[in-house]
Amino acid sequence: MDLAKALEISAAGMQAQSGRLRVVAQNLANADTTATTPGGNPYRRRTVTFADHIDRRTNTELVAIAGEGVDTSPFHIRYEPGNPAADKQGYVKLPNVDPIIETMDMRDAEQVYSANLAVMQAARGMLTRTIDLLKQ
């Protein structure tokens, strides 16, 4: 594999993980939001799916975000009769976001991003050394 392809693969991986981190941050930011109307639905957790595709220009298999979806798991419910978002029975629907799962997703995305960055730095270093050798 040539080094340019290694750089392209790493860049695609970093871009995909960056998008994943954006969705995780959105989920964490909305973890405590409630509906704006009584009995309404609150924020629903977002998910990211990945897919590989072939870059026809370089004939390289790359990863990218295939799409964003929503988690259809049930909302959490809490009894808060004084809350403006409470239904007639006094229950408030809370987002189906679990901060522990989001934190684990965030750490995983960070590690994959860092691994891709390390590959990119190593490939760049090899390219630089190759150029230095050719100058001599």
HEC letters along the chain: CCHHHHHHHHHHHHHHHHHHHHHHHHHHHCCCCCCCCCCCCCCCCEEEEEEEEEECCCCEEEEEEEEEEECCCCCEEEECCCCCCCCCCCEEEECCCCHHHHHHHHHHHHHHHHHHHHHHHHHHHHHHHHHHHHHC
Q: Which pLDDT score is estimated for 102?
A: 97
**Among 11-20, 31-40, 93-102, whose mean pLDDT is lowest?**
31-40
User: What is the arithmetic mean of pLDDT over 90-106?
Assistant: 96
User: What is the arithmetic mean of pLDDT over 58-83?
Assistant: 94
User: What is the arithmetic mean of pLDDT over 22-37?
Assistant: 94
Q: Which pLDDT score is estimated for 1?
A: 55
User: What is the arithmetic mean of pLDDT over 19-23?
Assistant: 97
Mean pLDDT, all residues of the chain: 93
Q: What is the pTM of this model?
A: 0.85
